[in-house]
Amino acid sequence: MRHTSLFLISCSILLGACHGVQVETPVVQKPLQAEPTLAQRKAALQEKKKSATQVPEVLGGIVQSDEWIIYKEKEQEEFKGHVFYDNGVYTFKANYGLSERKQNTFTATQNVYIRQKEPQGPTYEAWADYGRYNYKTGKGILKSTSTQPVRLTMTDSAQTVYASARYISFDTNAQIFILTGNVYVKRTTSEGTQTLQADKATVKQLQNYLRLDGQAKLSDEACNLEADTIIYDGERDESYAYGARPLATGSDEQGTFAIIADKVTSDAQGNVVKLDGRVQGWIVSPELNNNKINRQF
């Protein structure tokens, strides 16, 4: 059931790319002397994963629903009520589904839920009101038609990532993903929590690239950055913030600070920061305040 697997693959790529990290499923090495029962279980799992990347002539044989209608001339299949598919790795649910073989598309509406759980890997989940995917071009959308946004989560042993937006378009071949409308991303690890906010977020995973446009905000427990546009360019190992006079505030071991400039440029680690154009701000450092030179004033 390829439409299900690729919906999930797109969600996993998106969540990994939002933080400059490509999450890959660990490769489980086959034991030198595997027991027959273990080998059989692995073979069964491979068959399930293989079936999830193929589109059979008739989907009704593997998709459960209350009602299944076939339109032979249109080459369409319609699924109504409790639409469900589960092969052990991929799970798909909706109230309505439509397969259109001539257009190579599958559309799902009403309480759409998708989950991917790889053995010894992270779990990806998505919730939406509407989803459409072209399994030939690799392009699709997830969108909200209610008060609830499209929601994505990724959970593994090291972190939990949550993302939401009103509309998400994606191209699984080019690995480009665009989130639009009240974009919010939250990442929680043992080291703390990071959040991203914007009107629009563009992710290009192959280039390790993230762009936030419109009321962009980047925050962690030590620093807050606000600008019209914030860009992370992994290939160049640089980050940029410009438009609406970028404002950076926060605190570290050196003290507290608030800085405004026309443009802020930094390496990806934040070790080297460059401020351009009408730089203003202040830094309060206990080390500076207690310096002997201050006693002269």
Mean pLDDT on 136-163: 91
Q: What percent of the chain has pLDDT over 90?
A: 33
CA 156 – CA 133 distance, rounded (Å): 26
Q: What angle do CA 147, 8, 135 make, to 5 degrees?
A: 105
Q: Do 161 and 119 sit in the same domain of this protein?
A: yes
Do 174 and 254 lie in a common domain? no
- Clarify whether residues 240 and 256 are in a common domain: yes
* Beta pairing partners, 169: 141, 178
Shared domain check, 234 and 166: no
Q: What local confidence, expressed as pLDDT, does residue 32 receive?
A: 45
Q: Which residues pair with 140 in a beta bridge?
A: 133, 170
Are residues 43 and 99 located together in one domain of the fold? yes
Q: Are residues 99 and 191 in the same domain?
A: yes
Q: Are residues 22 and 124 in the same domain?
A: yes
Q: Is the pLDDT of residue 259 over 90?
A: no
| Model pLDDT, residue 276 | 78
User: Residues 269, 176: one domain?
Assistant: no
Q: What is the pLDDT of residue 129?
A: 97
Kindly state the average pLDDT of the residues 14-18.
38
Range name among 28-32, 117-121, 210-214, 292-296 with the lowest pLDDT average: 28-32
Q: Residues 121, 138: contact at Cβ < 8 Å?
A: no
Distance CA 62, CA 51 (A): 10
One domain, residues 206 and 235:
no
Tens digits of residue pLDDT in 60-93: 668 899 999 999 999 999 999 999 988 888 899 9
Average pLDDT along the chain: 77
> Of 186, 206, 221, which residue sits at a domain end?
221
Give the residue from 205, 221, 237 where a domain finishes: 221
Token pair 């701000």 is found at 281
The domain total for the chain is: 2
Query: Residues 107, 248: one domain?
Result: no
Tokens of 63: 């998709």
CA geometry: angle at 64 spanning 63 and 68, to 5°? 90
> Token pair of 64, please?
């459960």
Same domain, 190 and 272: no
Question: Do both 200 and 244 map to the same domain?
Answer: no
Which of these three, 160, 195, 221, is where a domain ends? Answer: 221
Expressed as residue numbers, the domain containing 258 is 227-297
Which pLDDT band holds residue 113 (cuts at 50, 70, 90)? very high
